[in-house]
A = this chain, B = another copy of it.
Amino acid sequence: MEYKDFIVKTLGKENVGSPLKIGRNEDSPIYRFVNDSERIIYDTSLEYFLKCRESGEVPISFEKAGPREKLFFEPAKTKVAVVTCGGLCPGLNNVIRSLVYELYYRYGISRVIGIKYGYEGLVSGYNHPVVELSPAAVSNIHLTGGSLLGSSRGDQDVEKIVDTLEIMNVNILFCIGGDGTLRGVHDIYKEIERRKVKIAVAGIPKTIDNDINLIQKSFGFETAFSVATDIIRNAHNEASGAYNGIALIKVMGRDSGFIAASAALAVQEVNFVLVPECEFDLYGTRGFLKLLRKRLEDRKHAVIVVAEGAGQHLFEDAGQEKDASGNIKHKDIGVYLKEKITEEFKNKKFPHSIRYIDPSYIIRSIPANANDSKFCNLLAQNAVHAALAGKTDFVVGFWNDHFTLMPIPMVTSKRKKIDINGELWWNVLEATGQPFSMKNP
């Protein structure tokens, strides 16, 4: 990571003044427009400061988001498209609504269209309709979960996508989506670059798992772990409602266990948190099943939270089943654990009762909570500010409590993961009482 990697691209010289009323007269605050040179330092430790001062290196920093005084796109002539891709996440409708409101009421842009069903809607063959996004059309959508625009997974041909953008005279495309979607945005950017057309592409990072690199917090994550918290709290009732009762709850977290960890820290009744970042053995003296049994013998019930991506190593050991296309078939760790626990305790004639709970679709389709709603609104507004200023191939990030602008390749290069030698995981171990290692020596 170097300082220069974090310079956001722009389409060109900024042309027109912003219509936003900032700092002009007594009717507006003295809050100033944000300059491109304003940046937020990556590492806030004093140690890092001293190190940089000593070595003379420029500290890593990220461009600050916010309203710009000069715009690249002239509002009256600008047409905007919005697309949502990938799995549902609480807050999608809030982001759509805030984009439309900011464009319409603050910048005076009324030509906003919604693309249906993700990138599919930008490819002519699918024949998905386009939706007009006026303030009236979106005024109540934030009260429901899901996405007004629908979504789909998977890549589409970027040439066809850019063809569609050109045919529809779209000047700015906002893509709300996760890692794969953002890589798609970068590919669209490259194709636009190749064609030398003036279209800005902006990513709004969406990951219910909160696992996008260098982004402290993503919308919907808090709502997700809050609902998971309620579900785990009630699952605890299931566990303690039976002799040697076990509640096993699978939560989202394909590559990172942030939902599992945060919910465990909120509930404070979880005994085991299993995450993708930390391998564990099932059997043997230090294995998970041994520890689970001990917990049951001591306390007569146990609550286990497992992230969907945890324990994939267990399947590889068990032989590599492949699907039609030759990919290793990912197995369901929740179902697998349930089976293995049942098998083990049945064999050992250890009386028990297990409840398996898989709430994923329940969580991701709910409306955003208040804090996420606020966050979505500000996120969308900052995306609008940046895109109108001509920034492209960027996402709106969040770091040290400031909204930032990040070049897409920097956030898609790798996933954010729990550092199992760090503070968060240590807190989880403290809260659960589970050992650091469930691997046999």
Contact = CB atoms under 8 A, between A and B. Distances in A.
Interface residues of A, number: 106
A189 to B, nearest CB: 26
Contacts of A369: 226, 369
A29 interface: yes
Contacts of A41: 41, 44-46, 49
A343 interface: no
Contacts of A74: none
A336 to B, nearest CB: 16
Interface stretch (A11-19, A147-155, A163-171, A173-181): A147-155
Contact of A52 (B49, B150, B242): B49
Interface string A241-263: 11101010000000000000011
Nearest to A433: B105
A110 B120 CA distance: 35
A355 interface: yes
A381 interface: yes
A238 B370 contact: no
Contacts of A230: 370
Contacts of A263: 370
Given A243-B120, A400-B44, A362 B357 contact: yes
Interface in A407-441: 420-423, 425-427, 429-431, 433, 435-437, 441
Nearest to A98: B268
B402 A44 contact: yes
Contacts of A431: 377
Contacts of A40: 44-46
Given A231-B362, A357-B361, A26 B222 contact: no
A102 to B, nearest CB: 8
A236 B436 CA distance: 41
Contacts of A102: 430
Contacts of A365: 234-235, 237-238, 241
A47 B38 CA distance: 7
A45 B105 CA distance: 31
Given A361-B357, A371-B226, A150 B377 contact: no
Interface string A197-225: 00000000000000000001000001001
A66 B120 CA distance: 47
Interface string A92-122: 0000011001100110000000001100100
A146 interface: yes
Interface stretch (A137-145, A304-312, A314-322, A387-395): A137-145
A216 B400 CA distance: 11
A266 B143 CA distance: 12
A88 interface: yes
Given A142-B268, A238-B365, 10 more contacts: A29-B422, A29-B436, A39-B45, A41-B46, A41-B49, A49-B52, A359-B359, A371-B371, A378-B427, A401-B401
What 3 A-B pairs are tightest by C-beta distance, nearest first? Answer: A146-B237, A226-B370, A229-B370
26 contacts: A29-B421, A29-B429, A29-B436, A31-B421, A38-B45, A39-B45, A41-B45, A46-B59, A49-B49, A52-B53, A117-B243, A140-B140, A143-B143, A146-B236, A150-B242, A150-B245, A226-B370, A226-B371, A230-B370, A263-B370, A266-B377, A268-B373, A356-B361, A362-B362, A400-B401, A401-B401
Interface of A: 20, 22, 26-31, 38-41, 44-47, 49, 52-53, 59, 61, 64, 66, 88, 97-98, 101-102, 105-106, 116-117, 120, 128, 140, 142-147, 150-152, 216, 222, 225-226, 229-231, 233-238, 240-243, 245, 247, 262-263, 265-268, 353, 355-359, 361-362, 364-366, 369-371, 373-374, 377-378, 381, 400-402, 420-423, 425-427, 429-431, 433, 435-437, 441
